[in-house]
Amino acid sequence: MVMTLSHPLMVVTDLDGSLLDHHTYRWDNALSWLDRLRAREVPLVFCSSKTAAEIRPLQAEMGLEDAPFIAENGARASCLLDGERREFGQPNYGALCAFLRQLRADSGFRFTGFADATAQQVADWTGLSLANARLAMQREAAESLIWRDSEAHFAAFRQRLQQAGLQLTEGGRFWHVMPQEAGKGLALAWMLREFAMAGQTFTTLGLGDGPNDAPMLELVDYAVVIKGHSKTPVTLMRDASSRVYYATAPGPTGWSEGLSHFLL
Ligand SMILES: [Mg+2]
């Protein structure tokens, strides 16, 4: 099915496990579509659990300098409009980690966050180079963690976070803790409002592979669900209409498959 464009197209994409291969972080299999989107001047918005410090060099490598982006699962977002930088989310990482440390001390919950780890540990968990692991640790507003405790304690952990105005979302590798007023869907809604106020309205196509992508995939006009690595599959509330496509391949191959499904 080819999509109907009532406005110029904007593509919003998750990175790890979507545009980037889950294991190798390569995007070779997406190059052909990346070239086509660039030639058509389609804005490509990264919407990722990665940090701004990781996203900016990737954008530069793909020729997308100064493109808008959503970082840290929607706890941060940034776009340049009419020469002015607009930002979403508060850089409260220090306070968030202090809260988590206190909660762990009080409750005895067992979990390990990026703030508790060395760059080498983060590199081991993710397969990133040591240099890129350091960029992944330059967090501003959301903490990524590995849960090492029981499911019962996990439910209690989630409840304690909720009481503190925080939420949990599941990515391809980690759990992510961030404020309740954050998330890929809320950050994208903010960004689309900023563009609309500047007189730019888009038809949006979103691509993602994890449960953390669901709020973004609910919001876009057309959604591609890529075969993912999370334990939990992506479940969308929206109708399984002709506007949702489930790619059969993972990573950049599924990403390209999804674009080929909707675009000529
Ligand atoms: Mg992903």
Q: How far is CA 170 from CA 167, 184, 231, 232, 262, in A?
A: 10, 12, 9, 8, 27
Q: Residue 111 maps to which CATH number?
A: 3.30.980.20
**DSSP class per residue in the chain:** -PPP-SS-EEEEE-TBTTTB-TTT---GGGHHHHHHHHHTT--EEEE-SS-HHHHHHHHHHTT-TT--EEEGGGTEEEEEETTEEEEES---HHHHHHHHHHHHHHH---EEEGGGS-HHHHHHHH---HHHHHHHT--SS-EEEEE-S-HHHHHHHHHHHHHTTEEEEE-SS-EEEEETT-SHHHHHHHHHHHHHHTT---EEEEEE-SGGGHHHHHHSSEEEEEE--SSSPP--SS---TTEEEEEEEHHHHHHHHHHHH--
Whether 153 maps to a domain, the answer reads yes
Whether 34 maps to a domain, the answer reads yes
pLDDT of residue 40: 95
**174 and 195 part of one domain:** no
pLDDT under 50: residue ranges of the chain: none
What is the CA(259)–ligand 1 centre distance, in A?
17
Domain edge (last residue) among 162, 179, 196: 179
Q: Residue 59 maps to which CATH number?
A: 3.40.50.1000
**188 and 161 part of one domain:** no
pLDDT of residue 1: 62
What is the CA(126)–ligand 1 centre distance, in A?
13
**195 and 256 part of one domain:** yes
pLDDT of residue 168: 95
pLDDT of residue 241: 80
Domain edge (last residue) among 156, 179, 202: 179
What is the CA(232)–ligand 1 centre distance, in A?
12
Catalytic residues: 14
What is the CA(16)–ligand 1 centre distance, in A?
4
For residues 13 and 102, give the distance between their C-alpha atoms in angstroms, rounded to a whole number.
Answer: 35
With CA atoms as reference, report the closest residue to 260 among 33, 6, 14, 102. 33
**100 and 171 part of one domain:** yes
Arithmetic mean of pLDDT over the chain: 95
**159 and 211 part of one domain:** no
Whether 2 maps to a domain, the answer reads no
**44 and 16 part of one domain:** yes
**82 and 103 part of one domain:** no
**74 and 145 part of one domain:** no
**113 and 242 part of one domain:** no
**How many separate domains does the chain show?**
2
Domain edge (last residue) among 146, 179, 212: 179
For residue 126, give its domain range. 93-179
Whether 23 maps to a domain, the answer reads yes
Whether 114 maps to a domain, the answer reads yes
